Amino acid sequence: MKIAVLPGDGIGTEIVAEAVKVLEVLDLNFEMESALVGGAAYEAHGHPLPEATLKLAKDSDAILFGAVGDWKYDKLDRPLRPEQAILGLRKNLGLFANFRPAICYEQLVDASSLKPELIAGLDILIIRELTGDIYFGQPRGRRTAVDGHFPGAEEAFDTMRYSRPEIERIARVAFEAARKRGKKVTSVDKANVLETFQFWKDVVIDVHKDYQDVELEHMYVDNAAMQLVKKPKAFDVIVTGNMFGDILSDEASMLTGSIGMLPSASLNSSNQGLYEPSHGSAPDIAGKGVANPLATILSAAMMLRFSLNQDESAKRIEAAVQKVLEQGLRTPDIYSEGTTKVGTSQMGDAVVKALSAQ
C-alpha cells in the first residue's frame, strides 16, 4: 500500500505532520512518500500540481492532503493558483464522490452555536457529486448579451448540466453508504426550478428501485438549508450536486462547532481517494502551532477505512481522538473554560499516546 503525502500550504504542513505521526504508530505495512502541492509547488516548480506530484498521486492507493492556498496567490492567473491543484487531482483521478461527515462529539456540544439538544449525537453524512454540475459545465464565459433583460450589455454565463451516468453513480454511492448507517437518503435538488435537477430527481428515483431497503426523501435545497439548522438530526445521508453540496457541507460543518474537527474523503470508482480536512490553509494562524490537527487525523482514519481496507485501525484512531477529548485537551478553536489548551503537536502527541495505550 502506498500513500502520497501532500501537505500543501499554510497550516497544511503542521497538521499533516501530526497525522503522519499517528499513522506511523499503527505499524501497518505501507509506504508514505511526500511531494509539494499548491503554493509551495508553485514557488518551487512554477505549477501548483507538478507532473511528479500528479504521478505520485496516481501511483498511490490514497492521498493524504493538507490544504492549499494563501491570499498572496490571489492575483496569479487562475490555472496557476494553488486551489487548481485540488481540481487537477479530482479530475485526473476521477474523484467524483465527496464524503463529508458532520459528527458532533459529546464533549464539544457547547462549541456549536445551536442548542445542545439539537445537535447532541448528531451524525450525518453529506455526499456531494464532485466532478460535474455548473462548476465544470461548458460552455461558460463572458460575452455580449443578445437577449435577456439587457441586450447588448456585457454578461457572464455558466452551464449547469448532469448526465444520467453521473447521477446514477453518485446515487449508488449514497444508497450503499446509507445501507451501512441509518438507511435513509435525502436527495437535495431544485427540481421546481431547474431542468438539470428535475432530471437528477428522476434518475435518483430510478436508482432507488435497487435499494428498496433504504428510505428515500427529496428536498429542495432552500428547505434543506433551513432543516439543517432547524432539525439536523432528522438527516442521515444527504446526496446532492456539486454546487449545492459545496454550500450545504460547509453549513453542516458549522453545526458541530469547529471546522478543525471535520474530515473529508473524495473517492473514485476504484476506491482510490484523496483525504483532507474540510478546512483551508488558515493563513491567519499558520506557523503559530495552534491549528487543530484532529480533522486531518480523522481524515487519515477515513483513508484507512475507505481506500486501504483497515477498518480496525480506523476505529482505533477514532477512539483515540475520543479519548483525548475526554481528557479535556483542546486546541484554541475548540477551547472552553475548564478544559486544557494545547497546541498542534501536543494534540498529535496526545492522540499517539492514546493509541499506544489501547
The residue within the footprint of ligand NAD, chosen from 3, 49, 50, 70 (CB under 6 A), is: 70
Determine which one of 246, 335, 341, 349 is catalytic. 246
Rounded least distance, CB 260 to ligand NAD, Å: 3
Chain residues 229-268 in contact with ligand NAD, contact rule CB under 6 A? 259-260
The residue within the footprint of ligand NAD, chosen from 7, 69, 88, 257 (CB under 6 A), is: 69
Query: Do strands 123-129 and 97-103 pair parallel, antiparallel, or not at all (unpaired)?
Result: antiparallel
User: Buried b vs exposed e over 112-134: b needs ≥16 C-beta within 10 Å?
Assistant: bebeeebbeebebbbbbbbbbbb
Chain residues 304-333 in contact with ligand NAD, contact rule CB under 6 A? 333
Q: Is the dihedral of CA 51, 56, 60, 62 positive or negative?
A: negative
Is 55 marked active-site?
no
Determine which one of 222, 230, 311, 315 is catalytic. 222
> Grid coordinates 502541492 are at which residue?
37
The residue within the footprint of ligand NAD, chosen from 50, 241, 263, 280 (CB under 6 A), is: 280
Cβ nearer to ligand NAD, comparing 232 with 257: 257
Contact 237, 182 (CB under 8 A): yes
Q: Does 14 bind ligand NAD (CB under 6 A)?
A: no
C-alpha 173/C-alpha 184 separation (Å) is 13
Contact 275, 99 (CB under 8 A): no
* Sheet with strand 184-189: strands edge to edge: 31-34, 2-8, 62-67, 273-277, 263-267, 97-103, 123-129, 237-240, 184-189, 215-220
Determine which one of 2, 91, 123, 135 is catalytic. 135
Is 222 marked active-site?
yes
The residue within the footprint of ligand NAD, chosen from 49, 67, 89, 173 (CB under 6 A), is: 67
> Grid coordinates 484554541 are at which residue?
332
Piece in contact with ligand NAD (CB under 6 A), picked from 109-117, 127-135, 280-288, 299-307: 280-288
Cβ nearer to ligand NAD, comparing 85 with 216: 85
Q: Taking Cα atoms as reference points, which of 270, 349, 252, 358 lies closest to residue 308?
A: 270
The footprint of ligand NAD (CB under 6 A) covers 11, 15, 67-71, 83, 86, 259-260, 276, 279-285, 291-292, 295, 333
Q: Would you name the residues annotated as active-site residues?
A: 135, 190, 222, 246, 250
